[in-house]
């Protein structure tokens, strides 16, 4: 049992350097805002393990920004449609029902295309925002680390 808790503690401490925390925070927030629902729960642990980041922090932040994710789905969709110059996807439930009644597979294809447009909107907006957020957080976490070390030395 002691070995289990030792491994768990090591797992939770993984990725706690200032740069790793900044990257974990940035990716946790950005992945939490990804406009395709259900993807982040299984992609975040994969990304965290590949890059040795703090998975607990990333998942917590992704769940924390979930309400914002819901609010940003349509803006990301519209941005992706504008970016790719495709016609706007009908958003109302009635229009989606009509599309399914007309052609089930056509409606599935339209929904897939809408998700792809939303994902592209997220990607185009998220890369520059993520880079800025990362460098800002590196500075903040470096500052906090400096003060933590200085406090322990006195």
Is 87 a member of any domain?
A: yes
Write down the pLDDT at residue 14.
58
Dist. CA 89–CA 78, nearest whole Å? 8
Residue-level pLDDT at 121:
95
Structurally, the chain folds into a number of domains equal to 1
- Residue 136 located in a structural domain: yes
pLDDT for 7: 63
Query: Is 4 a domain residue?
Result: no
3-7, 20-24, 79-83, range with the lowest pLDDT: 3-7
Q: What is the DSSP string of the chain?
A: -HHHHHHHHHHHHTT-SHHHHHHHHHHHHHHHT-SSTTSHHHHHHHHHHHHT--HHHHHHHHHHTHHHHHHHHHHHHHHHHHHHT-PPPP-SHHHHHHHHHH-HHHHHHHHHHHHHHHHHHHHHHHHHHHHHHHHHHHHHHHHHHHHHHHHHH-
- Note the pLDDT of residue 30: 96
Q: How many CA atoms lie within 13 A of 90 on its CB side?
A: 11
Nearest residue to 107 (alpha-carbon basis) of 2, 115, 51: 115
Query: What is the arithmetic mean of pLDDT over 60-70?
Result: 94
Whole-number pLDDT of residue 67: 94
Q: Is residue 10 part of a domain?
A: no
CA angle 108, 44, 148 (to 5 degrees): 150
20-37: average pLDDT = 94
CA distance linking residue 100 with residue 58, whole number of Å: 37
Whole-number pLDDT of residue 154: 65
Expressed as residue numbers, the domain containing 149 is 16-153
Residue 94 included in any domain: yes
Please report whether residue 45 resides in a domain: yes
Q: Is residue 2 included in any domain, yes or no?
A: no
Pick the residue with more confidence: 90 or 136? 136
Give residue 63's pLDDT.
94
Q: How many residues appear in the chain? A: 154
Could you tell me if residue 73 is inside a domain?
yes
Q: What is the secondary structure of 83-104 as a DSSP string?
A: HHT-PPPP-SHHHHHHHHHH-H
Mean pLDDT of 39-47: 92
> How high is the pLDDT of residue 91?
79
pLDDT at 93 over 80: yes
């Amino acid at each position: 049992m002691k070995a289990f808790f030792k491994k768990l503690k090591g797992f939770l401490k993984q990725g706690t350097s200032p740069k790793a925390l900044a990257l974990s925070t940035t990716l946790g927030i950005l992945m939490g805002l990804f406009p395709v629902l259900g993807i982040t729960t299984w992609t975040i642990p994969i990304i965290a393990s590949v890059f040795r980041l703090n998975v607990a922090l990333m998942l917590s932040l992704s769940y924390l920004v979930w309400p914002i994710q819901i609010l940003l789905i349509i803006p990301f969709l519209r941005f992706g449609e504008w970016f790719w110059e495709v016609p706007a996807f009908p958003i109302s439930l009635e229009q989606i029902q009509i599309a399914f009644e007309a052609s089930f597979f056509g409606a599935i294809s339209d929904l897939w295309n809408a998700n792809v447009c939303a994902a592209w909107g997220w990607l185009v907006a998220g890369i520059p925002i993520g880079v800025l957020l990362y460098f800002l957080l590196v500075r903040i976490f470096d500052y906090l680390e400096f003060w933590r070390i200085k406090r322990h030395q006195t």
